[in-house]
Amino acid sequence: MFEAAHSERIQAPAAAVWELWADPGRWPDWDHRITSAELGGELRVGAELRVKLRRGGRVRYEVIELEPERLLITEVRFPGARLGHEQRLEPAGDAVASAHRLYVSGPLSGFWAPMLGRKRMRENVSRFGPRERELVEPGARPKQERNARRR
């Protein structure tokens, strides 16, 4: 099994971050790997999500676990392995801790993890929290806006 994890403290209520996660149409806002995501129906355990990646084509994720405003786990299956994305929210005083974990598990995870790119998975997971913070913290400006003002 391989996993990459990152947690970020966000000065916003859990509901604000959950809104980003619960609406697949907004996934490209916080996950740069995705160009589009669609949910056929309501977000629930067993629901299928169709995701178009910038690199890698289209994949179908399944919702494995769901606790509104607390936990969302999705997985895509490969022969002999599963690629999962665990998203967890924990209250942290007047803020919330947003934790992401990407993992590859199963009997052939040792084959698939290098194919998917361990380094790339570590880099990707470390970007989710900071981007969420930019999108939901009061007064936070998106990175593109900050960069534009510097020019």
Q: Which residues contact 70 (CB under 8 A, 6 or more apart)?
A: 14, 88, 89
Supply the range of the domain harboring residue 13.
2-150
Residue 59 has pLDDT above 70, yes or no: yes
pLDDT band at residue 70 using 50, 70 and 90 as cut-offs = very high
CATH number of the domain bearing residue 107 = 3.30.530.20
Q: How far apart are CA 136 and CA 121, in angstroms?
A: 24
Residue 148 pLDDT level (bands cut at 50, 70, 90): very low
Q: What is the rounded distance in angstroms from the CA atom of residue 4 to the CA atom of residue 101?
A: 6
- Say how many residues make up the chain: 151
> What pLDDT, on a 0 to 100 scale, did the predictor assign at position 146?
43
Q: What is the pLDDT of residue 142?
A: 58
Residue 87 in this model has a pLDDT that exceeds 80? yes
Share above pLDDT 90 across residues of the chain, in percent, rounded to a whole number: 84
Q: How many domains does the chain have?
A: 1
